[in-house]
Amino acid sequence: MINYKTRKYTISKGLDDYFTGIHKAYIFTALFFKEAFKRPFHLREVINQCFEVGLKSLALISLTGFIVGIVFTKQSRPSLEDFGATSWLPSLIGIAIIKALGPLVTALICAGKVGSSIGAELGSMRVTEQIDAMEVSAINPFKYLVVTRVMATTIAIPVLALYCSFVALYGSYINVHAEETVSIISFYQNAFKTINFLDITTAVFKTIVYGFTIGIVGCYKGYNATQGTRGVGKAANQAVVLAMFLIFVEEVMIVQVSNWMRYF
């Protein structure tokens, strides 16, 4: 026999927890914007976090971008050959990588590497009461731990995405050059021939939004971690999953808005 009162209570509690979580996330994000423009700015810590996010992700971004460029070129060539349009290959690669693959691949890699790292680091500090100790010591832990990391991801990930795009284009050039004699200057000129200012602006804006999302989600999950060491792993996992989900949602929304702007 189904206990409808218990089932109703479970559904109600689930909805309450869902909307409470949204409210907490809103307050957390609003507090970031409030603290981000107040002194002290902790520039040294921001630079240190940019090093953690940027330089330590450089090798993985380089390898992934290079492979993406080669693989996408290999997959695209047979289709263009069927129509006798292989000369359009650099333009196709440029559009695909600069407008979509470069920013998206970089964001997903950083969501997995950086987001989980931030979530686990802040989560371990929360469950071991290090954040509480900072509050007792008259240090603003939110500003020192959260604001600096979100600013670092917002700054570093656009730079990484730009670097990933150029590495992917270079990997594509290697494949094109192996099939036909093309200079690297000619390849890059053809790759950027169909790219306009709106495309570049949209790509940069996307990476800024992705960077902010990765930073704020990782910090939110880690800063509010509970249940001891088990909660640390849970916070890191949730930071990655939620950040990737929001990145895909933002990708759809930004692309739709940029397509609308082309008609004005």
Q: What is the pLDDT of residues 39-50, one digit of tens each?
A: 888 889 899 999
Lowest mean pLDDT among 7-16, 118-127, 206-215: 7-16
What confidence category does residue 12 fall into, taking pLDDT thresholds of 50, 70 and 90? low
* Predicted local distance difference test score (pLDDT) of residue 177: 84
Instruction: Name every residue whose Cβ is closer than 8 Å to that of residue 119 and which is 6 or more positions away in sequence.
Output: 218, 219, 221, 222, 225, 235, 236, 237, 238, 239, 240
Q: What is the mean pLDDT of residues 236-260?
A: 91
Alpha-carbon distance of 183 to 190, in angstroms, equals: 11
- Residue 39: phi and psi, rounded to 5, are -75, 155
Q: Where are the domains of the chain?
A: 14-261
pTM confidence score: 0.88
Q: Give pLDDT, residue 176.
A: 86
Residue 109: the pLDDT is 92
Exposed / middle / buried, residue 172 (Cβ in 10 Å: 0-12, 13-18, 19+): buried
pLDDT-derived band at 216, boundaries 50, 70, 90: very high
Position with higher pLDDT, 85 vs 153:
153
Please tell me what DSSP assigns to residue 215: H
H-assigned helices in the chain? 4-36, 43-53, 58-82, 89-96, 102-110, 116-127, 130-136, 141, 148-179, 184-192, 197-223, 228-261
Contact 199, 98 (CB under 8 A): yes
